[in-house]
Chains A and B, each alone.
Chain A
């Protein structure tokens, strides 16, 4: 076990006890990145080498000088006995969808490849203020549009540290991969339909999507503005709690940021879970696909996923929780179709600003009139996924289709929210503290297996997207491995602002399974060295 494989909390304690320095911690992470990450994603990658196929490729941009300067400052503070902040000396990565001052902020798109942000996102600013060391910006699906990170304009795209022939998930694929491979202790991701939880599940780490508005979106390059949630990816619940603590809270620069006080997440971890009501829903044990004729076909989740959920339920029951079965969540099946409409309408509008006029990519071709500049700049600057979202978003929000699609989708979104309200209603029939599900219907799929089929890719998010529609928090945590040797993630969903409960339940599971054999397994990229 190397320094960079410890948890953030363990390293923080070592730093405060002056057993290690922040520079040593940083060096350990940089050495790990040098060893396993391979070359960072670029716009002109050339052919893929044999070595490429064995590396993680989490990064787009590394900022070693910045991290080094910060680490030295933290060491000085610790030496002087000053308060260095709750995350002092902890290296972290940032999904390259957040703006960081004077740093390339690319959204993994050619259209923003040359964009250096003149300001820093609130979430990043708060992590840095807490003393965390930014290692750089990590790769993702272009503008977060995807569930495998393969659609990045910066190639090679990230690979799964447990099996580099597999995707790390997405869109926060670089985030999950960097944490899983021991390159960073923490990563800042975003979740619009599952983009934190799904890659966390695929890479065997903890990923938390907070309640909508719990963490400010200021500086997050928007995808679906009514769905986007910044959140932590970490090695365990405690680290995630530490990170969320530093980021959560009101922000005068984000009108949709909640003005509620932030509870003490770390203190909540140690509480007893006795009496907590944890629900299981048949609607989360199956995947529902709409067919061309409008009918739905259903497919149960794989047996090993189902078994992992039931096994966790047994653990919780043994810890004194009550398991409530057969909680109906009937509108879960509409999550993806509704998401297809709402997220695309917002995305198409959010992408309007990339027009080749003010910043970012501008066509090198000769242009005639203004529209020609727009068409060529956007045509060359955007990859396939943004283009698909623009087309779909423009279509379903057009005056003649808006009622049929967009407005209808908003009404169904309300129904999805109602499922959760009924399940969590303290006076209701189920009175749940949390709903337990598998995070994904499958484990990490092989690279290029699903890519290109944007409908199928989307269904990787079926179990995660309802929380985004409803705005409620969700967490994914590792719960063993499937027969394919890949991590399995379980998900807990809770009512608004119940992050403390979700972290507490995750922590309880971690404690209860600490001695399990599967906990000893290490990512493949660390073994081949």
Chain B
């Protein structure tokens, strides 16, 4: 029996998060707005109107090109893609065709052990074919006999990014989208939410015998609106193609539609019936010139990419890969971590632990933005130093996190106001220990009879008596001595 490998290329449509649309001044984001509330003569294609390019769109496209290591073209062109559809008011889409804004590039894709059939994890490189800028179309929905059109989305800026056929499993495709989503948010050009349609994906899928280098006829899967669905749809299509080939049938170049509710693929059309879009240069827009100066200005604040930062965190801060991965999921969190480490100056693993165990929980529970927290990296570092110096114990420290976040006061101020400083006075602790021992004859007898585990109970009693401020280590030493 022949073994097959899967060959996948992805076409993603990335909705850019500009304030206004690509060719007019209408608000771009219409999420939860009433239909046809963000429209004007330009984006609804009235007679006589002309498009004027929003430069923010170009800037965001250049940022994405840089993030993908793609080559920004000094001159690119807009073209008309002609077809009829009610939600395409001009009867053509302004897009780019033969000379797009950027060419080439790649994404290094770490595949985690869980997505590796051999269970080890590996890194694969996905090459990018091209990136082009285009306008989105509106939305059509059928309501009984009526077809309703919402033009709000007309003219919302998109970048279409196409990979080479470099992905080999459905899991790799899913990882690509996970990493792309992370990157888009990281560089701040898209909300990248597949459920909201900010990030859309079509998958080109074919199979071939393992070891072959040619490309077989592929099918295109459209209308998949979550990463899990992409994975599932590709798996199903690979199963279907394998079955067809094993039965001696050939694969036809179909376009397939993913039915989310039924979890099945349906044939939309065969390639032969595809329209000729009669592309030609958009005469209403000038060629897009991106000078070195402009590019340099756009990229002046270009951030370190997430995977690069992850590698650096492992290297510079000696973090385990697991920690580095979590801390670089979002750029703001990774900035927060690094700022804390720098102010703190101590063990970066300790910062990581506090962040991942406690601060991240606060962030997730209260939907906080790390960059805007009142518990600033400076306060967190101060708090860690207080713990290190023994001024407060860990329990007090952890309780203080929430208090700093709520009050916005410096940790030291809260410690002073509430008298939270740890008692490390041997005499004071000894007095409380003696008092506890005197009041607990049964427990003392049991402990002396060999029940060592009761030590924890004694320490707890002392801490409770001293409202948590006792130096637990010292209390234990005194107790051990007194109970001897």
Interface string of B45-71 (1 = CB under 8 A from A): 111111111000000000000000000
Asked whether, in the complex, the Cβ of B82 is within 8 Å of the Cβ of A353, the reply is no
Query: Within the assembled complex, what's the spacing in Å between the Cα atoms of A406 and B53?
Result: 25
A99 / chain B contacts, CB cutoff of 8 Å: 46-48
Query: Within the assembled complex, what's the spacing in Å between the Cα atoms of A246 and B91?
Result: 34
Checking A118, A397, A398 against B46 with a beta-carbon cut-off of 8 angstroms, the contacting residue is: A118
Is there a chain B Cβ closer than 8 Å to A408's Cβ? no
Asked whether, in the complex, the Cβ of B84 is within 8 Å of the Cβ of A115, the reply is no
B83's nearest neighbour on chain A, judged by CB, is A352
Given A256-B286, A349-B80, A358-B44: A406 and B51 within 8 A (CB)? no
A352 / chain B contacts, CB cutoff of 8 Å: 82, 84, 90-92
Is there a chain A Cβ closer than 8 Å to B280's Cβ? yes
Chain A residues 213 to 241 lying within 8 A of chain B, measured CB to CB, are 217-222, 224-226
* Stretch in contact with the other chain, from A247-255, A297-305, A424-432, A505-513: A247-255
Is there a chain A Cβ closer than 8 Å to B86's Cβ? yes
Given A255-B50, A349-B92, A352-B82: A394 and B283 within 8 A (CB)? no
Asked whether, in the complex, the Cβ of B48 is within 8 Å of the Cβ of A218, the reply is yes
Chain A residues 105 to 132 lying within 8 A of chain B, measured CB to CB, are 105, 107, 112, 115, 117-119, 121
Is there a chain A Cβ closer than 8 Å to B362's Cβ? no
Is there a chain A Cβ closer than 8 Å to B197's Cβ? no
Asked whether, in the complex, the Cβ of B278 is within 8 Å of the Cβ of A402, the reply is yes
A371's nearest neighbour on chain B, judged by CB, is B84
A393's nearest neighbour on chain B, judged by CB, is B278
Query: Min CB distance, A75 to chain B, in Å?
Result: 32
Query: Within the assembled complex, what's the spacing in Å between the Cα atoms of A466 and B167?
Result: 52
Asked whether, in the complex, the Cβ of B276 is within 8 Å of the Cβ of A222, the reply is no
Asked whether, in the complex, the Cβ of A252 is within 8 Å of the Cβ of B45, the reply is no
B285's nearest neighbour on chain A, judged by CB, is A255
Query: Within the assembled complex, what's the spacing in Å between the Cα atoms of A117 and B48?
Result: 10
Asked whether, in the complex, the Cβ of A98 is within 8 Å of the Cβ of B45, the reply is no
Query: Within the assembled complex, what's the spacing in Å between the Cα atoms of A230 and B416?
Result: 78
A105 / chain B contacts, CB cutoff of 8 Å: 47-48
Checking B46, B50, B278 against A349 with a beta-carbon cut-off of 8 angstroms, the contacting residue is: B278
A224 / chain B contacts, CB cutoff of 8 Å: 283
A348 / chain B contacts, CB cutoff of 8 Å: 82
Chain B residues 316 to 351 lying within 8 A of chain A, measured CB to CB, are none
Given A255-B285, A370-B86: A353 and B52 within 8 A (CB)? no
Query: Within the assembled complex, what's the spacing in Å between the Cα atoms of A221 and B280?
Result: 19
Query: Within the assembled complex, what's the spacing in Å between the Cα atoms of A355 and B86?
Result: 8
Asked whether, in the complex, the Cβ of B280 is within 8 Å of the Cβ of A406, the reply is yes
A121 / chain B contacts, CB cutoff of 8 Å: 48
Query: Min CB distance, B314 to chain A, in Å?
Result: 48
Asked whether, in the complex, the Cβ of B92 is within 8 Å of the Cβ of A255, the reply is no
Query: Min CB distance, A174 to chain B, in Å?
Result: 18
Is there a chain A Cβ closer than 8 Å to B89's Cβ? yes
Query: Min CB distance, A121 to chain B, in Å?
Result: 6
Interface string of B77-101 (1 = CB under 8 A from A): 0001010101001111000000000
Is there a chain A Cβ closer than 8 Å to B74's Cβ? no
Given A221-B47, A349-B278, A358-B45: A255 and B52 within 8 A (CB)? yes
Is there a chain B Cβ closer than 8 Å to A374's Cβ? yes
A112 / chain B contacts, CB cutoff of 8 Å: 47
Is there a chain B Cβ closer than 8 Å to A345's Cβ? yes
Query: Within the assembled complex, what's the spacing in Å between the Cα atoms of A99 and B49?
Result: 9
Query: Min CB distance, A193 to chain B, in Å?
Result: 15
Query: Within the assembled complex, what's the spacing in Å between the Cα atoms of A117 and B49?
Result: 11
Q: DSSP class of A's interface residues: helix, strand, loop or mixed?
A: loop
Query: Within the assembled complex, what's the spacing in Å between the Cα atoms of A406 and B147?
Result: 36
B280 / chain A contacts, CB cutoff of 8 Å: 345-346, 349, 397, 402, 406
Taking residues whose C-beta sits less than 8 angstroms from the other chain, chain A's interface range is 35 or more
Asked whether, in the complex, the Cβ of B82 is within 8 Å of the Cβ of A349, the reply is yes
Query: Min CB distance, B29 to chain A, in Å?
Result: 23
B51 / chain A contacts, CB cutoff of 8 Å: 255
B286 / chain A contacts, CB cutoff of 8 Å: 255-256
Query: Min CB distance, A300 to chain B, in Å?
Result: 35
Query: Within the assembled complex, what's the spacing in Å between the Cα atoms of A1 and B53?
Result: 51
Query: Within the assembled complex, what's the spacing in Å between the Cα atoms of A406 and B51?
Result: 23
B41 / chain A contacts, CB cutoff of 8 Å: 118-119
A374's nearest neighbour on chain B, judged by CB, is B84
Checking B47, B89, B278 against A398 with a beta-carbon cut-off of 8 angstroms, the contacting residue is: B278
Is there a chain A Cβ closer than 8 Å to B369's Cβ? no
B84 / chain A contacts, CB cutoff of 8 Å: 352, 355, 371, 374
Is there a chain B Cβ closer than 8 Å to A399's Cβ? yes
Query: Within the assembled complex, what's the spacing in Å between the Cα atoms of A253 and B50?
Result: 7
User: Considering residues A255, A394, A398, which has the most beta carbons from chain B within 10 angstroms of its beta carbon?
Assistant: A255
Given A118-B41, A225-B283, A355-B91: A399 and B276 within 8 A (CB)? yes
Query: Within the assembled complex, what's the spacing in Å between the Cα atoms of A107 and B46?
Result: 13
User: Considering residues B46, B47, B53, which has the most beta carbons from chain A within 10 angstroms of its beta carbon?
Assistant: B47
Asked whether, in the complex, the Cβ of B284 is within 8 Å of the Cβ of A252, the reply is no
A345's nearest neighbour on chain B, judged by CB, is B280
Is there a chain B Cβ closer than 8 Å to A526's Cβ? no
Query: Min CB distance, B274 to chain A, in Å?
Result: 11
Query: Min CB distance, B8 to chain A, in Å?
Result: 27
Checking B53, B89, B284 against A353 with a beta-carbon cut-off of 8 angstroms, the contacting residue is: B89
A402 / chain B contacts, CB cutoff of 8 Å: 278, 280
A255 / chain B contacts, CB cutoff of 8 Å: 50-53, 284-286
A378's nearest neighbour on chain B, judged by CB, is B84
Query: Within the assembled complex, what's the spacing in Å between the Cα atoms of A121 and B149?
Result: 27
A296 / chain B contacts, CB cutoff of 8 Å: none
Chain B residues 170 to 218 lying within 8 A of chain A, measured CB to CB, are none
B91 / chain A contacts, CB cutoff of 8 Å: 349, 351-353, 355
Interface string of B393-406 (1 = CB under 8 A from A): 00000000000000
A351 / chain B contacts, CB cutoff of 8 Å: 91
Query: Within the assembled complex, what's the spacing in Å between the Cα atoms of A255 and B286?
Result: 7
Asked whether, in the complex, the Cβ of A398 is within 8 Å of the Cβ of B48, the reply is no
Asked whether, in the complex, the Cβ of B147 is within 8 Å of the Cβ of A218, the reply is no
Chain B residues 284 to 303 lying within 8 A of chain A, measured CB to CB, are 284-286
B52 / chain A contacts, CB cutoff of 8 Å: 252-255
6 A-B residue contacts at CB 8 Å?
A: A117-B48, A220-B48, A221-B47, A255-B51, A346-B283, A353-B91
Chain B residues in the interface with A (C-beta under 8 A): 41, 44-53, 80, 82, 84, 86, 89-92, 147, 149, 276, 278, 280, 283-286
**3 interchain residue pairs of minimum CB distance:** A352-B91, A226-B283, A225-B283
Further 18 A-B residue pairs, CB within 8 A, beyond A254-B52, A352-B91, A355-B84 = A99-B46, A107-B47, A112-B47, A117-B47, A217-B50, A218-B49, A222-B47, A254-B50, A255-B286, A256-B283, A349-B80, A349-B91, A349-B280, A353-B47, A355-B86, A397-B278, A397-B280, A398-B276
